[in-house]
Structure 1
């Protein structure tokens, strides 16, 4: 005769706490949040799509970025720039067909905003493709043996190089011996005339 072992189920309060933690982790997950927004904004163009499938695609793209590949980011920025260009063209054409100043100004302002965002997107893409090079001077000070390889030395004609002027030469040797710039005077006798000594001061 076999006996079945019954496993004790967790209390109701413990189950609720575990479910709440799982729900909170799901709601704060970056891929799930992005998938929820994509589902709402893309439903009219692509129809209803499962949230799990979209979240899996977002997490796949995120993993590629973590591995160091930015090809997906570059493609996304280029696509956004092209979309913003189309928005600029559409809003500009609508502005040109308006008869009243208020509507004309509104459409034209939106068109210029789309153009500005397109330019900023292309600048970001250019920065990712060609990051700026920074030349910095480094002072390496160590108390013990040290080997430092700072890489290539920047060109000597860069603006970061400081211009040094030649030091001023002092005309005087020191502060205690100033130069005599007065007009030379006529020579005079070395000893002035002296009076004879009194009798009291003479020798015996």
Structure 2
């Protein structure tokens, strides 16, 4: 009687560590692995498996990645019901954590002050996170309305011309002052005394007529 040796069963990879993906034409194996590792669903699926294994048991990495992809597609279409349900559940869980931590703080109060302080800090932190989660849910359900008011801010002078157009600043010509000038090309020289004109010899200069000497003679009374 002869016996045949039993073949050793080959070890199978757990489904929680096996990911099946579709390879597109032109993609190499290394590129497919890199694209999957950098994607948004692979790392999240691995985190859920590690933290949820104690309660949910062994999960399929492939099925979990497909579920996360379906949820992302639902959000992209504008359906936020899953997000709202998740935030509501998280707020409830945080509220339960707050109640349990507050209870433990009350049990240790009066005897173990350090433990009481630690439990109270954790309880208030859970309460704060619960409030923040509810605020986020409220914003998703009722987005705030933003009123934008247009402000017309202008730097410098503004001029609005309605009707007849006015002359621009560069079109205004500085006209000569006729009271201070004889000709347009000759200006008065106030530093020198005027002389008598050649065409009218009877006219004399103002200084000659009204000099200091004449003022003395005119000041005497004639006999």
TM-score range, shorter chain: 0.5 to 0.7
Distance in 2 between residues matched to 1:139 and 1:117, nearest whole Å: 39
Residue 120 (str. 1) matches residue 132 (str. 2)? yes
For residue 129 of structure 1, report the CA deviation from its aligned partner.
0.5
For residue 22 of structure 1, report the CA deviation from its aligned partner.
1.3
Distance in 2 between residues matched to 1:52 and 1:135, nearest whole Å: 46
TM-score (norm 2): 0.54
CA deviation profile, 1:62-102 (whole Å, cap 9, x unmatched): 00000111111111100100010011011111111113111
Distance in 2 between residues matched to 1:124 and 1:38, nearest whole Å: 23
List structure 1 runs of 4+ shifted beyond 6 angstroms.
none
For residue 138 of structure 1, report the CA deviation from its aligned partner.
3.4
Q: Which residue is equivalent to 2:123?
A: 111
Give the number of aligned pairs.
129
Among candidates 72, 77, 82, match of residue 62 of structure 1: 72
For residue 136 of structure 1, report the CA deviation from its aligned partner.
1.1
Q: Which residue is equivalent to 2:190?
A: none
Q: CA RMSD in A?
A: 2.1
Structure 2, gaps ≥5 residues long = 1-26, 153-216, 219-223
Among candidates 133, 137, 151, match of residue 149 of structure 2: 137
Of 116-125 and 98-107, deviating more is 98-107
Among candidates 14, 20, 33, match of residue 30 of structure 2: 20
Q: Which residue is equivalent to 2:114?
A: 102
For residue 135 of structure 1, report the CA deviation from its aligned partner.
1.1
Larger gyration radius, structure 1 or structure 2 = 2
Q: Which residue is equivalent to 1:148?
A: none
For residue 139 of structure 1, report the CA deviation from its aligned partner.
6.8
For residue 39 of structure 1, report the CA deviation from its aligned partner.
0.5
Distance in 2 between residues matched to 1:47 and 1:20, nearest whole Å: 31
Distance in 1 between residues matched to 2:56 and 2:89, nearest whole Å: 17
TM-score (norm 1): 0.59
Distance in 2 between residues matched to 1:135 and 1:26, nearest whole Å: 43
Correspondence 1:22-101 to 2 at 5 A: 22-98=32-108, 99-101=111-113
